[in-house]
């Protein structure tokens, strides 16, 4: 029965593909930054309501939750898309390039939104043909403070049994997907360090405490944490992104601010790193007569795919694009993704949708001014999302609770 439903779903996707490509290009032309997705959210809401969805919006942000024939007595699967863009000036030269100065969809969220909309439209046309509920989450601020927590608090996963998500991926050709069992992406934390020294004349450095010199020693010390204090079999990254300090060339600097990020794929290591950093900073400052403030914020957790949901993804994707085009990524990446927050609440899987096409110039990396998505990938994304949702709802897919992942949870 489920195969007939999928065939009908695929026919609808084929019929609306041009419409979805146009939506993607329109979104690309008018990008909006995190927490400013007003017009995008409005367009998504109006389109969903046109196709019979009940849409919940919020007073504090632009995220949306869309319900198709909600029934508390039936199984529910959620599909998530993010809507925000980045503060980058586009240089693709495409006819649908960003028309908003200094803002562009350089990470593919326009394609994620379009794929979810296409999937939603197709489901609306077969809503009486399948069992269960399909819920769509259109999330704000993935690039910002992590809008996923707002959506979860707003009820996005209430009563849901599973969730699906994808990401445009310029490192795989169009027509392929990448999947990963267990840890797929790293946790992503942020930190700020303030160094307080003592100013003096540049010709009399002995009368001051040079915050810039202290900072340089701290940078060196922090970079030794990963190479000398952490097991090399457990990848970790400590990266400094900004250093600000000093007023002029002949004054010993008395105040420096550093910011950076930490990425890990192991919770035990993640929890140890802040203490290691504080020890290093404290040691340098004590030896140099400086003082410091250290602020460490735990942001996105590791993204951990659940085994049975990955099996479901691979099975359905194999039927659509062939086994040879389903690529086991094997190793996690150190990038962060707040889809991980959803996976702490319900089972699910996140996968990579290949979008690289050299002839269309869509192989540039994410967060690059020339990044773009091959429109031919949209149809593949819609079909895989839809097939996985239908199979999950129509069959008894075994589920493992997120905190019972066993050997798949960590290395």
Which candidate, 39, 37, 47, places its Cα nearest to that of 114? 47
* Cα–Cα distance list, 365 to 170, 369, 373 (Å): 6, 9, 10
**Strands 64-68 vs 133-139: parallel, antiparallel or unpaired:** antiparallel
Domain extents for the chain?
2-185+303-408, 187-300
Q: What are phi and psi of 126, to 5 degrees?
A: -130, 25
Query: What's the mean pLDDT in 163-184?
Result: 98
pLDDT tens, position by position, 52-78:
999 999 999 999 999 997 777 789 999
Mean pLDDT of the chain: 94
Note the pLDDT of residue 145: 79
Note the pLDDT of residue 87: 97
- The H or E element that residue 180 is part of is none
Is-same-fold flag (2-185+303-408; 187-300)?
Answer: no
* Calpha distance 390→119 (Å, rounded): 11
* Calpha distance 275→260 (Å, rounded): 16
DSSP state for residue 198 in the 8-state scheme: B
* Calpha distance 87→35 (Å, rounded): 13
Q: What is the CATH number of domain 187-300?
A: 3.30.70.360
**Residues forming beta bridges with residue 260, ordered by sequence position:** 191, 240
Instruction: Tell me the Cα Rg of the chain.
Output: 24
Whether 292 has a pLDDT exceeding 60, the answer reads yes
Q: What band does 397 get if pLDDT is binned at 50, 70 and 90?
A: low
Tokens 């999302």, located at residue? 385
Query: What's the mean pLDDT in 161-171?
Result: 98
Q: What is the CATH number of domain 2-185+303-408?
A: 3.40.630.10
Note the pLDDT of residue 170: 98
Note the pLDDT of residue 71: 74
Q: What is the DSSP string of 361-401?
A: T--SPTTSTT----THHHHHHHHHHHHHHHHHHHTT-----
pLDDT tens, position by position, 179-219:
999 999 999 999 999 999 999 999 999 999 999 999 999 99
Note the pLDDT of residue 144: 83
Q: pTM (2 decimals)?
A: 0.91
* Calpha distance 330→278 (Å, rounded): 33
Note the pLDDT of residue 69: 77
Note the pLDDT of residue 146: 78
Note the pLDDT of residue 50: 98
Query: Between the CA atoms of 362, 363, 365 and 366, what dihedral angle is there, to the nearest 10 degrees?
Result: 30
Burial of residue 73, with CB atoms counted within 10 A of its CB: 0-12 exposed, 13-18 middle, 19 or more buried: exposed
Q: What are phi and psi of 296, to 5 degrees?
A: -120, 130
pLDDT tens, position by position, 7-44:
999 999 999 999 999 999 999 999 999 999 999 999 99
Q: Which residues are catalytic?
A: 84, 142
* Cα–Cα distance list, 145 to 79, 138, 242, 263 (Å): 21, 16, 18, 16
Query: What's the mean pLDDT in 257-280?
Result: 96
* Calpha distance 137→79 (Å, rounded): 6
């Amino acid at each position: 029965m489920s195969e007939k439903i999928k065939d009908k779903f695929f026919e609808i996707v084929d019929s609306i593909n041009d419409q979805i490509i146009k939506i993607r290009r329109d979104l690309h032309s008018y990008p909006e930054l995190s927490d400013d997705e007003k017009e995008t959210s409005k367009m998504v809401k109006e389109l969903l309501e046109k196709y019979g969805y009940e849409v919940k919006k919020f007073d504090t942000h632009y995220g949306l939750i869309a319900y198709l024939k909600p029934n508390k007595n039936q199984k529910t699967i959620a599909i998530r898309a993010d809507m925000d863009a980045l503060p980058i000036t586009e240089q693709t030269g495409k006819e649908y390039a960003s028309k908003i100065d200094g803002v562009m969809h350089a990470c593919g969220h326009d394609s994620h939104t379009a794929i979810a909309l296409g999937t939603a439209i197709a489901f609306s046309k077969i809503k009486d043909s399948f069992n269960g509920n399909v819920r769509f989450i259109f999330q704000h601020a993935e690039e910002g403070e992590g809008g996923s927590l707002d959506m979860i608090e707003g009820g996005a996963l209430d009563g849901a049994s599973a969730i699906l998500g994808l990401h445009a991926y310029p490192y795989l050709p169009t027509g392929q997907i990448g999947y990963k069992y267990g840890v797929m992406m790293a946790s992503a934390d942020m930190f700020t360090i303030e160094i307080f020294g003592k100013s003096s004349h540049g010709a009399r450095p002995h009368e001051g405490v040079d915050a810039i010199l202290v900072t340089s020693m701290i940078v060196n010390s922090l970079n030794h944490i990963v190479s000398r204090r952490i097991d090399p079999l457990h990848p970790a990254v400590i990266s400094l992104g900004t250093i600000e300090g000093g007023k002029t060339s002949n004054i010993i600097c008395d105040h420096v601010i550093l910011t950076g990020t930490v990425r890990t794929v192991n919770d035990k290591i993640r929890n140890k790193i802040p203490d290691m950093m504080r020890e290093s900073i404290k040691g340098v400052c004590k030896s140099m007569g400086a003082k410091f403030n250290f602020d460490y914020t735990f942001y996105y957790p590791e993204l951990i795919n659940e085994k049975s949901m990955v099996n479901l993804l691979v099975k359905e994707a194999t039927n659509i694009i062939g086994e040879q085009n389903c690529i086991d990524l094997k190793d996690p990446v150190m990038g962060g993704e707040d889809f991980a927050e959803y996976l702490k609440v319900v089972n699910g899987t996140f996968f990579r949708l290949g979008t690289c096409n050299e002839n269309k110039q869509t192989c540039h990396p994410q967060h690059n001014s020339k990044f773009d998505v091959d429109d031919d990938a949209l149809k593949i994304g819609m079909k895989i999302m839809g097939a996985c949702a239908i199979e999950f709802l129509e069959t008894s897919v075994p589920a493992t609770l997120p905190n019972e992942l066993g050997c798949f949870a960590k290395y």
